[in-house]
Amino acid sequence: MSHFAKIDNNNIVTSVLVSDQDFINSGVVGDSSLWVQTSYNTHGGVHSNGETPLRKNYAGIGYTYDLERDAFYSPQPYPSWTLNNTTCQWESPTPFPNDDKFYNWDEDTLTWIELVEIEII
């Protein structure tokens, strides 16, 4: 069994299902050309089991299928973020801190803001 993403006329993923290619080709779920295989083991162009990655990222509802890159990527999280052409993942203009703390992105300042733990008494 494989995973398939259904794309609309704008190449946006509208659903994902587990199926085999014969079922997709049967027409039961509509035009088979609107279904593109995806792999839940592929993330950032790397297959988690060391196998050949498929279409850069596992497709999710709302993702875009880019025919030229033959890749799926998520919606842009913030206007300042850019799409990495190698991984087809969005990157912030400021790298995420590598210190095991929790952060939220602040689009106004283009920085990561540390989340502070609040003690409730």
Domain edges within the chain: 1-75, 77-121
Cα separation of 97 and 38, whole Å? 31
* Residue 119 pLDDT level (bands cut at 50, 70, 90): confident
- Quote the percentage of the chain above a pLDDT of 90: 94
Q: With cut-offs at 50, 70 and 90, classify the pLDDT of residue 62.
A: very high
| pLDDT at res. 121 | 75
Q: CB count, 10 Å around CB of 94? A: 13
Residue 53 identity (one-letter amino acid): P
8 A C-beta contact, residue 1 and residue 23: no
Question: Model confidence over 20-35: pLDDT tens digits?
Answer: 999 999 999 999 999 9
For the CA atoms of 104, 105, 107, 112, the dihedral, rounded to the nearest 10 degrees, stands at 100
Residue 7 has pLDDT above 80, yes or no: yes
57 neighbors 43 (Cβ within 8 angstroms): yes
The per-residue pLDDT for 98 is 95
